[in-house]
Amino acid sequence: MTSKKTVALFAICMNDVMYPQTCEATVALLERLGCEVVFPEEQTCCGQMFTNTGYHAEALGSVRSYVKAFTAYDYIVGPSGSCVASVRDQHPMLAAETGDKVLMQAVAAVVAKTYELTEFLIDVLGVEDVGAYFPHTVTFHPTCHAMRMAKIGDRPYRLLDKVEGLTLLPLAEYDQCCGFGGTFSVKNDVMSAAMVADKAAEVIKTGAEYLVNVDNACLMNIGGRLHREGSAVKTIHLAEILASTRAQAGS
């Protein structure tokens, strides 16, 4: 790496409160790869739980806090396909709905600098082998928003492929939604339950020790089902695997 990049961590609200280990792993990984990481404290949430439930005005607080938190930085990196996609696709729409030209411009500028973690690693830092060591069997669920909205493609697979000791087991019906869908999981609870039951069954069938993906929201859903069924399969965010090293494993 030629010059040290300063990266603003877009922690994701759910990670901040529920999965701080994912944030710690993201920071450790980026620092190991030579970046300087900062955590802008004005950040809150991408606002998609409001937007996708039909509450656009209520999402504007999130849009404004995102602009305030991240405008000063060149690289904004979030360990979530879903929330990065929401920032990219929905913040410009929400800003446009207000008719506030200043906000629209500010949003456009900050959105252009927002990366999902695997995009930043491969497209900006140009690394696939991050020096990770994870001697376990895992299966990967490419979450819907990462795959179809953020369109991160095969980047997670390319990164997993280079992790020493890791065995990736194929997941049948991998492209099927786990049934989370934010407030969908509560509003359409019976349908959501049927979907997550099927997803958990496919995960268990792989025989993997870990289920990994790039969105903790979906992991909370599938993991909640796995836990209810008494399954031993653990859930883990990709950042945590990539942050793991042989030195840690040895210690």
Partner 1 sequence: MRTNEKSRASATLVTPASAPVRRTPAPPAERMIDAPPFPENVKNYINNEQLRANMRHATHTIRAKRSAVAAELPNWEELRTAAEDIKNHTARHLDYYLEQLEANLIKNGAQVHWASDAAEANRIVIALVQAKGVDEVVKIKSMVTQEIELNEALEAAGIAAWETDLAELIVQLGHDRPSNILVPAIHRNRDEVREIFLREMKLYGKAAPEDLDNDPKNLAAAARLHLREKFLRAKVALSGSNFCVADNGTLVIVESEGNGRMCLTLPETLISVTGIEKLVPTIADLEVVLQLLPRSSTGERMNPYTSMWTGVTPGDGPQEVHVVLVDNGRSKVLADTTGREVLRCIRCAACMHACPIYERVGGHPYGSVYPGPIGSALTPQLRGFNSAIDKSLPFACSLCGACAEVCPVKIPLPDILVYLRHRVVEEKKRGHLGLEQTLIGFFGWVMSKGRRFGRFGTMAGLARRVLGKEYLRSLPSLGKRWTASRDLRMPPKSSYRKLWKKRARRKGGA
What residues make contact with partner 1 under the rule CB under 8 A? 11, 13, 15-18, 20-21, 23-24, 39-45, 47, 49-62, 64-65, 69, 89-90, 144-145, 147-149, 175-177, 179-182, 184-197, 220-221, 223-225, 227-228
- Cα dihedral 102, 107, 113, 118 in deg (nearest 10): 180
Q: Closest CB to partner 1 among 25 and 166?
A: 25
Task: Determine contact, residues 114/78, Cβ cutoff 8 Å.
Answer: yes
Shortest spacing between CB 47 and partner 1, in angstroms: 7
Task: State which residue, 71 or 188, has the beta carbon closest to partner 1.
Answer: 188
- Which residue type sits at 5? K
Q: How far is the CB of 164 from partner 1 (least distance, A)?
A: 27
The answer to whether 144 and 214 are in contact (CB under 8 A) is no
In whole angstroms, give the CA distance from residue 62 to residue 43: 8
- Residue 73: strand, helix, or coil: coil
- The nearer residue to partner 1, 169 or 220, going by C-beta atoms, is 220
Amino acid identity, position 118: T
User: Shortest distance, CB of residue 45 to partner 1, whole angstroms?
Assistant: 5
Cα dist. 36→11, 17, 27, 40, 108 in Å?
15, 23, 9, 13, 24
> Least Å distance between CB 91 and partner 1?
13
Closer residue to partner 1 (CB): 29 or 177? 177
Q: How far is the CB of 194 from partner 1 (least distance, A)?
A: 5
Closest CB to partner 1 among residues 57, 249? 57
